[in-house]
Copies of this chain bind each other. A is one copy, B any other.
Amino acid sequence: MEINLREIHSPADIKGLDLEQLHLLSGELRAALMRKLSAHGGHVGPNLGVVESTVALHYVFDAPTDKIVYDVSHQSYVHKMLTGRIDAFLDPDKYDDVTGYTCPRESEYDLFEVGHTSTSIALATGLAKARDLQGGKENVVAFIGDASLGGGMALEALNYAPELRSNIIVILNDNQMSIAENHGELYNHLAELRRTNGTSHNNIFKALGYEYIYVEEGNDLRALIKAYKAAKDQPRAVLVHINTMKGHGLPCAEADKETFHYCAPFDMKTGAPTHPSQAESYDDMFALRMLERMRADRRVVTLTAGTPGAVGFGPALRHAAGSQFIDTGIAEQDCVTMAAGLAKGGVRPVMGVVATFIQRAYDQLSHDVALNNLPAVFVEFYGSLFGMNDMTHLGFFDIAMISNIPGIRMLAPATAEEFLAMLDHAIDTPDGPVVIRVPGGAVTRQDTPVNTDFSRYDIVEQGADVAIIAEGPFLATARKAAELMRAKGVTPTVINPRILSQVDAGCLDSLKSYRHVITVEDGILDGGFGQKVAAYLGTSPVKVTCLGLKKEFLDRFSVPELLRANSLTPEQIAELAN
């Protein structure tokens, strides 16, 4: 008996299989996944852990009539393999035909573009309510990991969903891990539920009105199918708690779950990266500087909301930082507001955060931090078009979001030296909140001293008639453009603004007699610093051109094409001197 994965075109093709065949299928799927992931990179651990539960899901439920909503959706690869997209997991030249997340543009089996955590139960609740209003009978399933469950919206929705008094199934994929380890007492409670084989009297899910089903062997098809069948078609909220193993079946991933949460191509036997990088990085630089600062002063702390590795704090550095390193789990709101409390309590909190995730705490930044004028520091990584390029992880909307909140100083260094000087300045000058936007792309160095008056624009090259004000990684672009302009006889002034949340009136006043001012930013134009400059200079005769990105969600773009499409290359900028 053999399973040919290429013959799996839709879940209908697995409905007739018996248990043994489903086992074989799972084995084939896992082997194919390992081949692709080791060659291509991706979310290794989450997907290897849910092979069986995904097979069982599509065996028991009838998608796309029954609706399955994945939380984060970085564990949806097997789902994609079973819903008409198997080639993208078998043929190396088709590996990039699918995104790393659910994607309605790819398939009717995918309901939402998702990439942030903690959304699935709320989305499912909406689908279930829509079904009920229209007299539908389909099942609605939210598939959520234990780490995502700790996020605020997941808990809000977990609380609300049973109030529908209607079919909604939450599958809690408990692999006992976040990206790194979990934080919060909920995880001790989940451990208690696992320890008691789901029989603990105290059961948070039962307390919240769920019918509760526990599956000890979350990688066992028979147990999963039985549980899913019990949950199916129930006219109430059911929570199926499945105990799975992240990285299941791949020894290196089972052994080092944090490294193999997401990783670049690797050797399947040793787990070693295929293309190890020795390049210096801003996250390492940040972590080392913070460690130094924390060692020198017990009142300095570093915070993260579930992404320690992304901000340079691997296990060893976390251990070294000890109680001065705080990980709230994937709970950005709690993390930002805890930083406000820490600042009020006399401590200097520095939160490292990935740009796409800081938007999960807008109210907290605005009210708890900025309105209270508390000296908390936020160091934002990948806030750049040179950062992540998945549609759900874009980092170039942050200037519009953060720089317009009153009271926040948003700083944008152009080099490593400037970054570290700003970080030290923010820690040493407790004068309200500071957000530092770490430059995207490769680390850039400067050999001149850093001008530390960060409330002022920095004139990098003094010229006349034309000025280019370019922030972050575009300062280098501007300098190249200036060189091209000089070849044409125009000597522009090149300015590094550094602060994006206010204009430097003195500097801009000095440009009113210029012919042309060009702003360049690593973000969308709308709501950005260029528009502030244009408005400030609106009553002067000087011509102002704002360069930056069009306001749109992009998916897996090519950086060079994006730069050209938005007139952001040195050559295009130089053209403007004409």
Contacts and interface: CB of A to CB of B under 8 A. Distances in A.
Nearest to A349: B126
A556 interface: no
Given A207-B207, A404-B400, A133 B331 contact: no
Interface string A367-410: 11011100000000000000000011000010011011111000
Nearest to A192: B207
A535 B527 contact: no
Given A134-B347, A403-B527, A122 B189 contact: no
B333 A152 contact: yes
Contacts of A541: 541
A209 interface: yes
A513 B363 CA distance: 42
Contact of A160 (B111, B184, B347, B525): B184
Contacts of A131: 345
A113 interface: yes
A215 interface: no
Contact of A152 (B155, B202, B204, B551): B155
A116 B207 contact: no
Contact of A367 (B104, B115, B329, B340): B115
Interface string A208-249: 110000000000000000000000000000000000000000
A370 to B, nearest CB: 8
Contact of A346 (B130, B371, B526): B130
Nearest to A67: B345
A414 B370 CA distance: 31
Can you tell how many copies of this chain the complex includes? 2
Contacts of A192: 207
A352 B565 CA distance: 38
Contacts of A122: 333-334, 337-338, 340-341, 364, 368
A188 interface: yes
Nearest to A69: B341
A127 interface: yes
Given A337-B123, A344-B127, A156 B160 contact: no
A524 interface: yes
Interface of A: 69, 104, 111-116, 119, 122-134, 150-153, 155-157, 159-160, 162-163, 183-186, 188-189, 192, 201-204, 206-209, 298-299, 301, 323-324, 326, 328-329, 331, 333-334, 337-347, 349, 359-360, 362-364, 366-368, 370-372, 391-392, 397, 400-401, 403-407, 524-527, 530-532, 534-535, 537-539, 541, 543-546, 551-553
